[in-house]
Amino acid sequence: MKDLLHFGLSDAYIYRGFVIDHCRDWQAIDLPFWLYYNIPVFYTWGFDERNDARFSRLNPHLIELANEDHSLAQPTSGLTLQDDLLQAAAASWDYNDYLTKSGPDLTGSLSAYDSTFQFTVIDFEGWGRRIIHKDQAPSYAGQFHFTTSTDEETGRPTVIFWCWKPRQPISQRQLFDDKESHHDTHERRAQLWYIRESFAHELAPS
């Protein structure tokens, strides 16, 4: 699909989209990528979705209220910032584009690990690990929190970088910052789109 979009063929699918189940599929769906290219996304909004803070940003009432002129809200809907919406709005800042909550501030130094270690990265929460070259490890260590483990098959010690726990998360408030910050945010998001589309078939949960 990504190739089709880049070649301008997405217009042929303008009335097509995705029907998603948040509770079941949130670790694998690519909402930022789809929405950036104006691909329609449909989902149910029931008890489970409404009561999971992870999905607060997708609350349809918040989406209506987010429009400054409230043009999406029906005049008779009587939408107000009730307690439940205020809670949802507050929780929406705690999750990133991939519905992952910012993790704890973990610390670590690669100086404790030698060449016998295998270096891996988990790109998104719930995904499988992929191996990276040891020369890339210092760069990853500067960008992401990490932990250590032991490979169950080989018994080899392993360093695991969590791409979904960056040391400097992309803040939703950067959307409202100056143009330079907005550009940097877009670049970082584009990199995540590329990673997600490239490795989803192999590493995303099914």
Q: What is the pLDDT of residues 65-106, one digit of tens each?
A: 766 544 444 444 554 557 777 888 888 888 888 898 866 656
Q: What is the mean pLDDT of the chain?
A: 78
What Cα–Cα distance (Å) separates residue 152 from each residue in 15, 55, 116, 117, 163? 46, 34, 15, 14, 22
Domain total of the chain: 2
**The domain boundary residue, chosen from 56, 82, 99:** 99
Choice between 66 and 107, residue whose per-residue pLDDT is larger: 66
Tens of pLDDT, residue by residue over 132-173, are 998 999 899 888 888 888 888 888 888 999 988 888 766 555
| Residue 92 and residue 113 share a domain | no
**The domain boundary residue, chosen from 99, 119, 147:** 99
Distance CA 191, CA 61 (A): 30
pLDDT confidence of residue 18: 85
- Residue 5: pLDDT band (50, 70, 90) is very low
| Residue 108 and residue 86 share a domain | no
| Residue 69 and residue 53 share a domain | yes
Distance CA 173, CA 121 (A): 27
**The domain boundary residue, chosen from 52, 81, 99:** 99
pLDDT confidence of residue 116: 80
- Average the pLDDT over 22-39 and give the result: 88
pLDDT confidence of residue 9: 46
| Residue 201 and residue 158 share a domain | yes
> Where in the sequence is the domain holding 143, given as residue range(s)?
103-206
Is pTM beyond 0.85? Reply is no
Q: Which ranges in the chain belong to alpha helices (H)? A: 2-6, 22-25, 31-36, 47-50, 60-66, 83-92, 137-143, 179-203
Lowest pLDDT segment from 2-11, 55-64, 153-162 = 2-11
| Residue 47 and residue 63 share a domain | yes
pLDDT confidence of residue 72: 42
Q: Report percent pLDDT > 70 for the chain.
A: 70
